[in-house]
């Protein structure tokens, strides 16, 4: 059980690096009254992620899929997800994704020159500066991704009592939304120092974000592959 819990929280840390969430937080920090916007987005994200997470976990626990996955599906799933993460790490490490990003940037530049460029829908909505709107955006953009679904499957396989399962789901959601929670906590306790720290963090992420992503994806990918291979033995 301890290995499963470690993997669940590692997946939560990986989910915390979700690009859409990072982009949304960056946009909100640049707007007036970011505390209200961040709080609205956080409450919306909690609403969707916790609700959907609990529904998925208890549905899996009540189905026969959980007992089946303990014998055959789980090792193969671990290996598959682990290999995907290792491929992601290899692509990030090689810099091959830069070509795709450059082509996208060129298309955006061309659209900008012709006056046809438009910001993504989520950024346009966040730019309106309303806590209610950020609540709606947070709720819509916080449906479980690959990392969360993998963690929910592990939580269901643990077959823990309902209070423990709820605690695991809620703690996963708290960890995966650290990018929202930490600035809010900082703005509440030390607003000036927080603003300076946010600026330093953005600069650090610009320098080291790729390396952190490579290391995180490699570590978690190797862990899942090894676990899957052990499970097949």
Could you count the other beta carbons within 10 Å of the beta carbon of residue 96?
10
- CA nearest to 50, candidates 136, 137, 144: 144
Percent helix, strand, coil in the chain, to 5, is 85, 0, 15
Is pLDDT above 50 for 68? Answer: no
Cα angle value 81/26/138 (rounded, 5°): 65
- Range of lowest pLDDT (79-88, 103-112, 139-148, 163-172): 103-112
Say if 201 falls within a structural domain. Answer: yes
pLDDT at residue 49, rounded to an integer: 92
Give the C-alpha separation, 43 to 39, whole Å: 6
Question: Residue 219 sits in which domain range?
Answer: 2-228
**Model confidence pLDDT, tens digit, residues 98-119:** 555 555 566 656 555 555 555 5
What mean pLDDT is reported for the chain? Answer: 77
Cα-Cα-Cα-Cα dihedral sign, residues 53, 213, 95, 222: negative
Say if 196 falls within a structural domain. Answer: yes
Indicate the SS3 state at residue 144.
coil
Say if 167 falls within a structural domain. Answer: yes
pTM (2 d.p.): 0.63
Categorise residue 63: left if φ over 0, alpha if ψ from -120 to 50, beta otherwise. beta
Q: What is the band of 74 on the pLDDT scale with cuts at 50, 70, 90?
A: low
Say if 174 falls within a structural domain. Answer: yes
Say if 233 falls within a structural domain. Answer: no
Number of domains the chain is built from: 1
Say if 128 falls within a structural domain. Answer: yes
């Amino acid at each position: 059980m301890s290995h499963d819990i470690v993997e669940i929280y590692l997946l939560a840390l990986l989910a915390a690096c979700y690009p859409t969430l990072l982009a949304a937080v960056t946009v909100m920090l640049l707007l007036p009254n970011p505390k209200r916007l961040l709080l609205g987005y956080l409450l919306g994200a909690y609403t969707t992620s916790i609700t959907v997470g609990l529904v998925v976990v208890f549905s899996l626990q009540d189905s026969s899929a959980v007992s089946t996955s303990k014998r055959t599906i789980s090792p193969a799933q671990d290996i598959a997800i682990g290999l995907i993460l290792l491929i992601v790490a290899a692509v990030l490490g090689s810099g091959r994704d830069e070509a795709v990003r450059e082509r996208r940037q060129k298309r955006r530049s061309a659209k900008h020159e012709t006056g046809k460029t438009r910001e993504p829908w989520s950024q346009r909505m966040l730019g309106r500066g309303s806590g209610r709107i950020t609540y709606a955006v947070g709720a819509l953009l916080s449906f479980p991704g690959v990392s969360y679904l993998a963690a929910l499957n592990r939580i269901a396989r643990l077959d823990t009592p309902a209070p423990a399962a709820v605690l695991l789901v809620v703690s996963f959601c708290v960890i995966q939304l650290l990018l929202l929670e930490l600035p809010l906590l900082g703005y509440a306790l030390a607003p000036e120092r927080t603003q300076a720290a946010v600026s330093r963090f953005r600069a650090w992420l610009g320098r080291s974000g790729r390396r952190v992503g490579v290391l995180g994806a490699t570590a978690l990918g190797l862990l899942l592959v090894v676990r899957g291979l052990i499970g097949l033995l």
